Structure 1
Amino acid sequence: MNTSSQLAKRFREVMLDGLWIANTNFKDQLSDVTWGQAITKIADLNTIAMLTFHIDYYIAGILNVFEGGELEIKDKFSFDLPPIESQEQWEELLSKLWRDSEKFAALLEQMSDSKMNEVFVDEKYGTYLRNIDGMIEHAYYHLGQIALIKKMILFKNK
């Protein structure tokens, strides 16, 4: 299995269907979260909706580069979630995350191994490999937060 295929598999594991590292994934954790739970604020932690938006913001930004576009995302906007005021809007955010994640993985699978060592947009960002690895690690970091916040919400509502 080439590097791109291995990375796509790792990305799918954290986002869509894996159990290997964390015994869960984004899709598993978010599948039963209601809109009310998604926007529930616990102390000064980000909400589940905010973290969902945040991770998709970066996936969509890197995906744009994969598709030949510019790197248009900025860290300062990565938490600019518009208000989510219904279950339908929450489900739309989730659907976007699943679509973007699958497209990200599919395009990643098609990349050559030599692409992994190419500069990602600008030398200051390092290589494609560095950015893809970073995206996977970033996703696991926020997956852990979501799992803990979800448990806190469920405990609070008992």
Structure 2
Amino acid sequence: MKQAKQISNRFREVILNGKWVSYTNYKDQLLNLTWKQANKKIESLNTISDLVFHINYYIAGVLNVFEGGPLDIRDKYSFNSTPIKSQNDWEELINTLWNNAEKFANLIESMPEKKLDEIFVDKKYGNYQRNINGIIEHSYYHLGQITLIKKMVLESEKQG
């Protein structure tokens, strides 16, 4: 299997359909959550909806580069989410994540092998492979947070 396909599969595992590394993925954790659960604030932790916005922000930003656009994302804006005020808003956010993730994975998969070693936008960012792996690792980091926060939200509902 070519390297781009392997990397694409790793990305799909964390967001869309995998169980190998953490025995879960974003889709498993998010599909049955209500918008109120996704917005439930637990102490000083980010909400699940904030974390979903955050991870999608980076996926969309790198996806824009893959599609020939500029890298116009900035860390300081990565938590500037639009408030989720309904189930429809929540479903729109997660559907945007699924759509961006599938496009992202498909573009990785179709990438020529030599592209993985090319500079990503600017030398200071390293190559494409480093940035894709960074997205995967960043996604796993926040998946762990989402999993724990979800358990806390569901437990708080049991306690009333």
Q: TM class by shorter-chain length?
A: over 0.9
Segments of 5+ residues of structure 1 without an aligned counterpart are none
CA distance in structure 1 between the aligned counterparts of 2:138 and 2:2, rounded to whole angstroms: 22
1:20 aligns with 2:15: no
Q: How does 1:25-104 map onto structure 2 within 5 Å?
A: 25-104=25-104
Q: Name the SS of the counterpart of 1:157 in structure 2.
A: helix
Segments of 5+ residues of structure 2 without an aligned counterpart are none
CA distance in structure 1 between the aligned counterparts of 2:133 and 2:145, rounded to whole angstroms: 19
Residue type at the aligned position of 1:6: Q
In the TM superposition, what is the alpha-carbon distance from 1:139 to its structure 2 partner? 0.3
In the TM superposition, what is the alpha-carbon distance from 1:57 to its structure 2 partner? 0.2
CA distance in structure 2 between the aligned counterparts of 1:129 and 1:104, rounded to whole angstroms: 13
In the TM superposition, what is the alpha-carbon distance from 1:154 to its structure 2 partner? 0.8
Which residue is 1:134 aligned to? 134
TM-score by length of 1: 0.99
Runs of 4+ in 1 over 2 A off after TM superposition: none
CA distance in structure 1 between the aligned counterparts of 2:96 and 2:24, rounded to whole angstroms: 20
CA distance in structure 2 between the aligned counterparts of 1:29 and 1:83, rounded to whole angstroms: 20
* Percent identity over paired residues: 60
In the TM superposition, what is the alpha-carbon distance from 1:112 to its structure 2 partner? 1.1
TM-score by length of 2: 0.98
1:115 aligns with 2:110: no
Number of equivalenced pairs: 158
In the TM superposition, what is the alpha-carbon distance from 1:20 to its structure 2 partner? 0.2
